[in-house]
Structure 1
C-alpha cells in the first residue's frame, strides 16, 4: 500500500462532477487502482450496527421509519440494558466483526441517565477490543469529550444530502447543525463517520455537492457510508424508485478517488442488491459493510452475517481484523 500520495482537500465540484460522469469502466478502473494503493484490496471490514433505542424520534427525516410522526410498523423500544448491548457486541466480535456501532433514535444527546448508560456501553464495547462507534444525533463539545474519554473510536453523523437539497428532506434541523456536530466530534479527538443517502429525489449535482463538502474538510472523514434509500412504508419516500446499482457504483468510486484514505462503507440498501452488484461496489472501492445477527440495519432488512461471509469467500475477500 502506497500512502505517500498527498491527500487533496481542494477538490472543486466541477472536478468531482467530471469524475462521477467518466465512462463507467474507466471510472471503476481508476477507483480500483487508487483503492489498492491505500488499502488491502482483499479485506472488507464487517461492522455490526445495533439500535440501542428505537423509534419515537421527534425529527421529520422523510426517509426514516423511526420518526414518531410517521405511521410505520416499527415498534418503539426504550434504551436497551447495558448488559444486553455488551452481549450483542461480544457475539458480533465472535462472528467476525471488528467494529460495533450503537444507534439511538434521538434528535440530540441530553445530559441525563440515558447518556450515562451510553457511556457505560462505550466503555464495555471498547474493553472487548472492538472499534466502538455511536450515532446519537446532535451533540455538544462537552458530550463529545465524554464519549472520547470513555473510549469512543468513531461518531456517525451523516450529511444525508447536499446543503441545497437538505431542506427538502428534513426541516427539524439544519445542514449547519450537522456540520457543527461533526466539528465537535473532530475537536474531541474522535474519528468522523459521515456520508449520505442516494435515492431521495436529489440530482447528480446534489450528490456531488455532498461529496464535495466531505472531500474539502480539513480532515477527510475516516469513514464515508454510501447508503441507497431503504424505502420504509409509511414514510414520505416510501414510493421512490429503487436506486440503480450503477449510481451506487459511481458514488462509491467518486468517494474513493476523492478520499482515498477513508473507509468507504457500502451501507443501507444491500438487501435489494445481488451478489454481483455488491461485487461491483467492492471493486469500485467499498471496503466495509454493515452486517449483524438480527438481519436488520436499524429497522430495515439486511443480509445475514452468515450470508455475507459466504459472499465474501466467493469473491475472494476476507473480514478485516482490527
Structure 2
C-alpha cells in the first residue's frame, strides 16, 4: 500500500504570512534611504547650490551676494576665453576618447592571447591608472620642460636644438591629450579584455571552418560582440576627458594665455584667481549640461546600434 506524500503535506493558508512577509516591501524600501541620503547630500544639494550661485555675483568670500539672474550666462557667450576653453574641452574629450579606444583595444587584443607573462603585462599597463594625475602630470612636465627636460636633453645629445613643447598652444593641447590617454588607456584595456573573454570561442571556430580570415572574424564577430564594451568605454572616457583638470593645471596651467584652458581649469581660475564665484558657477552648470546631453545622446546612439546588430 502506497501513500501520496505530497498530498499529506498541508497547504499553507492564505494570509498566514508564509512566503514573503507582509511588510517586506516596506522594509526593503527603507534600505534605499542611506543611498538616497548620500546622493542628496553629496550630489543633488551641491548641484542645486551651484545653480543658485550662478544666479548671483558672489565673490566666493564675502557673506553678501546680489541676485543678477541670467546675467552670468549671457556673459559666457560674449567671453572669448570661455569660448576657447569650451572648444578645448571638446578637443580633450573627443581626442582622449578616440586615442584611448585605439590604444585600449589594441592592448586588449594583444594581451587576450595565451602568452607568457600576460598577467604581469596587464598589471604594468594598468598601473598608471592608480597614479594621481597630478603626479603623472608632474612627471611629464619634467620630461617636456624647456630647460633640463629629459626630451630636450636627449635631442641635444643627438645634435638637435631645444624645443618649447608646452609654449605652443597646438602642441600643448596634443600633448595633454596624449598624456591623459596614455595614463587611462588601461581602463579601456580592462573593459575590452572583459568583453573579449565573454565571446564564445565557438564563433571563431565556425568562422575558420567557413574560411574566414583574422580580419573578417574581427569585423563580423569581435566588433559586434564588443558593442557593450564600446558603449561603456566610450562614455567613461568622454566624461573623463571633458572634465580634464589636473594634467592641464600641472603641464600648462591653461597657458600660454588662455590657449589651453578647459572649462574645468577656467572655473578654478575664475573662482580662486578672479574671485568671481557666481560667474564660475555658471560655467560649471553649463559644463554639467553639456556632459549630460553628450552622455545621453551617446548612450542612445550606441544602444540603438547594438540592438540593430543583435
- Greater helix fraction, Structure 1 or Structure 2: 2
Normalising by structure 2, we get a TM-score of: 0.21
- Greater strand fraction, Structure 1 or Structure 2: 1
Higher relative contact order structure (alpha carbons within 8 Å, sequence separation ≥ 6): 2
Normalising by structure 1, we get a TM-score of: 0.20
Larger Rg belongs to: 2
